[in-house]
Structure 1
Amino acid sequence: MKNNFLILAFLFFSISAFAQIKKAAVKDLAFMSGTWVQKSEWGDLEEFWSQPNGESMMSSFRCVKDGKALFYEFVVIELEEGLPVMKMRHFNRGSIAWEEKEKPLFFPLVTLKGKLAVFEMKDKSVRLSYQLITENKLSVVLEEKDKNGQPKKDIFSFTRKLY
């Protein structure tokens, strides 16, 4: 009897842990706001997140190496059907877009627990996690498959830029 209870409890908590969220507000993502910087093998990284406003947030990102910007990202998070959805576009120097005009990358919010937000493409090919570790430390984890189809994880440890 005790074993049956433990099995049922395990199943209940396992299922609920993987259940997708049904509703969230953009304001719940305010912990991401700020200007975040990191030096990495890619170069000097800088990511700015606005405060939530008008059921949206926006972000700009740039990667600078050897004194030259290599690429940029522009991101908006907008509320769609009760859930925040991240919409991302990449650009080379000269503002040359990687994605087609009508096709930004879409990442619906799939997990929101305290200061952790996880966004994932519907085909599950790419996942982005944002977690505020301390007031001045933001961890961003990019999970995707490499050119050979093998799982790849890049972890970015951003520090809040204080002016």
Structure 2
Amino acid sequence: MAAFFSLTLVSQEKFENTLTYNDEAGSPEATLECLDFVAGHWQGKAFGGIVEEVWTPPLGGSMMCAFKLVVDSQVQFYELCTLSEENKTLILRLKHFRGDLKGWEEKDETVDFRLVKVEPGKVYFDGFTFEKVSHDEINLYVVLEEKGEKEEMRFNYHRFKGGTSLY
């Protein structure tokens, strides 16, 4: 399991469930073991529609995820994400794509989230937190910024076990 470090080294801004990366503190040592609870097929509600994520189990020092948002039976956007072990810690990377798979970010750019803290059932990246509620439920907390205003948003997911959508 990953090393812990004092909360005094982490700026919490105004949010309850996300932390901000501190360059002086750096990232703690960690492996993908601390995020094995994320592996699976998940569904929830957000942005006026259904959100879906599929996370693979660790393989080759990484986990990958496909995300999509569907509103009124239309895909609004996708994300491709990776959780990777690098330099004895973890990094979360993602890229956004419109419904037609045209990327939002430039070709060689990703949105990167550096690891801040690991505790049992909760893994904090810079502005992005994974929380295990139970075997069949997780929360993802993300700090979103729009027009200079930051907001912490909770995505509540339930494990999808096949058949039709949970929603």
- TM-score class, shorter: 0.7 to 0.9
- Secondary structure of the residue that 2:37 maps to in structure 1? helix
Paired residue secondary structure (1:97): coil
Structure 1 residue 34 corresponds to structure 2 residue 40: yes
Q: In the superposition, relative to structure 1, how do residues 20 and 71 fare at CA in structure 2: closer, same or farther (>3 Å)?
A: same
Q: What is the CA distance between 1:29 and its match in structure 2?
A: 1.1
> 15-24 vs 86-95, which deviates more?
15-24
* 2:155 alignment partner AA: F
Q: How does 1:4-153 map to 2 (within 5 A)?
A: 14-15=7-8, 21-120=27-126, 127-147=127-147, 149-153=148-152
Distance, in Å, in 2 between the alignment partners of 1:17 and 1:104 is 24
Which blocks of at least 5 consecutive residues in structure 1 are unaligned? 1-11, 121-126
Question: Percent of pairs identical after alignment?
Answer: 26
**Long gaps (5+) in structure 2:** 12-24, 163-167
Which is bigger in relative contact order (C-alpha 8 A, separation at least 6)? 2
Q: CA–CA distance in 2 between the matches of 1:79 and 1:13?
A: 22
Please give the alpha-carbon distance, in whole angstroms, between the structure 1 residues aligned to 2:94 and 2:6. Answer: 33
**Runs of 4+ with deviation above 4 angstroms:** 16-21
Residue 92 to residue 14, structure 1, CA distance change in 2 (3 Å): closer
What TM-score does the superposition give when structure 1 sets the normalisation length? Answer: 0.81
- Give the alignment's Cα RMSD to 1 decimal: 1.9
Q: Is the 8 A contact 2:27 2:114 kept in 1?
A: no
Deviations 1:3-53 (A, max 9, x none): xxxxxxxxx965377755421112221111111101234311101111011
Structure with the bigger percentage of helix: 1
Specify whether residues 29 and 14 from structure 1 end up closer, same or farther in structure 2 by C-alpha distance, changes over 3 A only.
Answer: closer
